[in-house]
């Protein structure tokens, strides 16, 4: 078939332009640049024969790793040229004695604007190509992906801008006198974990001498500091309805750090996990208007242990609605809700919505996001919330074509899977508007001027190690994570360490540009499938109502006794179990210690 359509020279040309030569070099032109640092039309006879000789087995006749084999194979090619009258015997006698003289330069693979996405794509495509008899690199396949180049560009710019800002903060924090230096215990630990330390010990130095020498080596310490205190980030945007991945940024610089902080990195999500707690409660009949006391909380764990979650400041000792508890990211409120619905149910909700690969520890502190997850899982779960409890598998590819445009396969749209109560998901989604309108994410409105119908949640982990923010819009869910590859390194700032200041700006910048350029419709609103308006008895009276009306409303919420502990409806008399303490005489220390993960 091929020979009927193409001449032998055309077949040979096509083959030489696509055949792999190792080191990301495909085709004779890239091979010439890789092994001899010149264009193919500048190759000498010896160099050409070397590359042609590799075709029998590129790895076996690799001139970089196996020069003797490559030279012998090169000479075989030259002898064939003599046999076919393409080379004089005298020339052959002279050329076969010459060395290879390889000028190797590894080619940098061009990954495009979404390199981490391309790596994920490659894993998926290799299986497809193998099962369908295609060579992924040599057959000229055209892959149609879900990436929106405009949104990808906005995401790249947003991550670059915020990454630069945070790096300035990190550099300043670690340059202080009490920051990076030989006397810092963390620095000493990092030195002992370094490859240089291990190499010195392997050579016979004592660990003490090796550490002392490295701590005195200023150049080494600067190199280690640059590596360890480099700020990292991840960003992902997805269409919640179709599952199409629209933008994917796995790190600040793929060439410098190819590790994917979207798909591969598991980090504690902090308060971005709280919606699953409230969602579980709403599915059991709770309402956003239900009240709990914002007071010190002690939850028994058994064995004399007590969990005492706290917030950044003291509790108000006032009633607070579940809606405000979520919007303001109150740990005291969230912990009480978790105690009522139970860790097992919360974990079940999270898994159903999209957190399906990372293991979740079913303990009370799960409410505050203490189990590490990936950004990709969280975006999937939030997409399920927007999609009213329907999970859609993320999609990367829409179709594959051959080099002539013939469609080889069209990938069917994923079928939404009903995994969570739709009414409860709608209540949760609408309640999450509060974080943007009056809570921890108001910068979306005030700083970035986004007036679209959006909802979201910030997240910050213990010691400001991880910063998160996820924003939901009817057709785009976008989220970002900011931190360091080593979780022991932080920005050393309670201000910049908060997710609202580290991760939110990436999402805000992205969404601002997308709406401004009309890539995203800023006028589109969430659609309510259900009427979830609370009954009049649960609605607070207007602000100018008589004091007696307000008193009666509060009395009704608290079961007739304004002094009693508020309870959530549908949970039976008594509301939450009473606050308990260690039994008298208990000597077991409270475990875990105070949780300060929050908004």
**Cα 231 to Cα 593: distance, rounded to the nearest angstrom:** 28
Please give the pLDDT value at position 540: 66
- pLDDT of 12 reads 83
The pLDDT value recorded for residue 575 is: 37
One DSSP character per residue, 353-381 reads: HT--SS----SGGGGGT-S-B-HHHHHHH
Q: What integer pLDDT is reported at residue 257 of this predicted model?
A: 86
| pLDDT tens profile 425-484 | 999 999 999 999 999 999 999 999 999 999 999 999 988 899 999 999 999 999 999 999
CA distance 429 to 388: 8
What distance in Å separates the CA atoms of residue 326 and residue 365, rounded to the nearest whole number? 16
Residue 389 carries which DSSP code? S
Distance set, CA 279 to CA 207, 334, 468 (Å): 52, 11, 19
Note the pLDDT of residue 9.
Answer: 81
For residues 290 and 11, the model is more confident at 290
CB 466 within 8 A of CB 491: no
- Judge contact between 246 and 240, C-beta under 8 A: no
Q: Do 334 and 354 contact (CB within 8 A), yes or no?
A: no
Between β-strands 291-293 and 142-145, what pairing exists: parallel, antiparallel or unpaired? unpaired
CA dihedral (170, 175, 176, 177) in degrees, to 10, reads 150
pLDDT, tens only, 563-592: 433 333 333 333 333 333 333 333 333 333
**Strand, helix or coil at 233?**
strand
User: Does domain 2-95 bear CATH number 3.40.50.460?
Assistant: no
How far is 27 from 33, CA to CA, in rounded Å? 10
Q: According to the model, what pLDDT value does residue 5 have?
A: 54
**Could you tell me what percent of the chain has a pLDDT over 70?**
87
DSSP H/E element including 501? helix 499-502
Beta bridge mates, 395 = 244
Residue-wise pLDDT for 234-248, tens only, equals: 999 999 999 999 999
pLDDT of residue 554: 60
What angle do the packed helices 207-215 and 218-228 form, to 10 degrees? Answer: 90
Reduced to 3 states (helix: H, G, I; strand: E, B; else coil), residue 40 is: helix
The predicted structure's pLDDT at residue 547: 67
Closest CA to 31 of 9, 76, 61: 61
pLDDT given for residue 236 in this prediction:
98
Burial class (CB in 10 A: 0-12, 13-18, 19+), 573: exposed
Q: What is the mean pLDDT of the chain?
A: 87
What pTM was computed for the model? 0.77
Q: Are 442 and 332 in contact (CB under 8 A)?
A: no
Average pLDDT over residues 277-305: 93
pLDDT band at 179 (very low <50, low <70, confident <90, very high): confident
Name the pLDDT band for 13 (thresholds 50, 70, 90): confident
Please state the rounded mean pLDDT for residues 62-78.
Answer: 93
- The phi, psi pair for 223, rounded to 5°, reads -65, -45
């Amino acid at each position: 078939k091929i020979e009927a359509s193409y001449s032998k020279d055309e077949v040979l040309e096509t083959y030489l332009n696509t055949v792999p030569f190792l080191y990301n070099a495909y085709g004779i032109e890239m091979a010439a640049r890789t092994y001899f640092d010149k264009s193919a039309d500048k190759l000498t006879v010896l160099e050409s024969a070397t590359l042609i000789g590799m075709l029998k087995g590129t790895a076996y006749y690799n001139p970089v790793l196996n020069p003797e084999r490559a030279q012998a194979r090169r000479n075989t090619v030259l002898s064939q040229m003599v046999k076919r009258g393409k080379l004089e015997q005298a020339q052959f006698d002279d050329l076969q004695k010459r060395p290879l003289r390889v000028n190797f330069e590894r080619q940098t693979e061009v990954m495009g604007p979404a390199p981490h996405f391309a790596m994920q794509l490659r894993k998926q495509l290799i299986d497809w190509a193998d099962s369908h008899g295609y060579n992924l690199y040599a057959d000229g396949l055209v892959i149609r992906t879900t990436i929106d180049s405009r949104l990808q560009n906005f995401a790249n710019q947003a991550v670059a801008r915020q990454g630069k800002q945070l790096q300035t903060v990190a550099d300043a924090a670690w340059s202080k006198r009490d920051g990076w230096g030989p006397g810092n215990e963390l620095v000493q630990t990092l030195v002992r974990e370094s490859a240089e330390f291990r190499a010195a010990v392997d050579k016979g130095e004592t660990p003490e001498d090796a550490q002392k020498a490295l701590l005195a080596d200023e150049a080494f310490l600067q190199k280690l500091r640059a590596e360890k205190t480099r700020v990292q980030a991840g960003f992902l945007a997805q269409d919640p309805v179709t599952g199409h991945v629209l933008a994917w940024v796995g790190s600040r610089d793929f060439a410098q750090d190819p590790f994917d902080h979207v798909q591969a990195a598991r980090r504690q999500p902090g308060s971005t996990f709280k919606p699953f707690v409230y969602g579980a409660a709403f599915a059991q009949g709770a309402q956003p208007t239900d009240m709990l006391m914002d007071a010190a909380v002690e939850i028994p764990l058994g064995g004399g242990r007590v969990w005492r979650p706290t917030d950044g400041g003291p509790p108000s000792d006032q009633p607070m609605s579940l809606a405000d508890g979520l919007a303001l990211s109150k740990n005291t409120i969230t912990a009480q809700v978790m105690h009522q619905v139970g860790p097992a149910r919360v974990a079940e909700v999270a898994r159903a919505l999209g957190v399906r690969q990372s293991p979740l520890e079913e303990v009370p502190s799960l409410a505050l996001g203490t189990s590490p997850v990936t950004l990709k899982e969280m975006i999937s779960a939030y997409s399920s919330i927007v999609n009213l409890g329907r999970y859609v598998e993320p999609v990367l590819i829409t179709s594959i074509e051959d080099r002539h445009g013939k469609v080889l396969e069209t990938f069917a749209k994923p079928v939404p899977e009903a995994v969570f109560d739709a009414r409860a998901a709608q209540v949760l989604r609408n309640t999450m508007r509060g974080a943007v309108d009056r809570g921890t994410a108001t910068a979306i409105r005030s700083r970035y001027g986004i007036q679209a119908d959006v909802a979201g949640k910030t997240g910050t982990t213990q010691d400001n190690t991880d910063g998160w923010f996820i924003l939901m819009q009817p057709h785009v869910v976008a989220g970002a994570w900011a931190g360091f590859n080593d979780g022991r390194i932080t920005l050393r700032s309670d201000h910049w360490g908060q997710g609202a200041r580290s991760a939110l700006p990436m999402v805000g910048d992205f969404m601002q540009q997308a709406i401004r350029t009309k890539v995203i419709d800023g006028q589109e609103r969430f659609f309510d499938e259900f009427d979830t308006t609370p009954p009049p008895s649960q609605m607070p009276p207007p602000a100018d109502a008589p004091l007696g009306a307000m008193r009666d409303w509060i009395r009704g919420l608290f079961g007739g006794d304004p002094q009693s502990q508020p309870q959530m409806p549908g949970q039976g008399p008594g509301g939450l179990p009473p606050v308990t303490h260690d039994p008298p005489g208990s000597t077991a220390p409270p475990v875990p210690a105070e949780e300060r993960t929050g908004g």
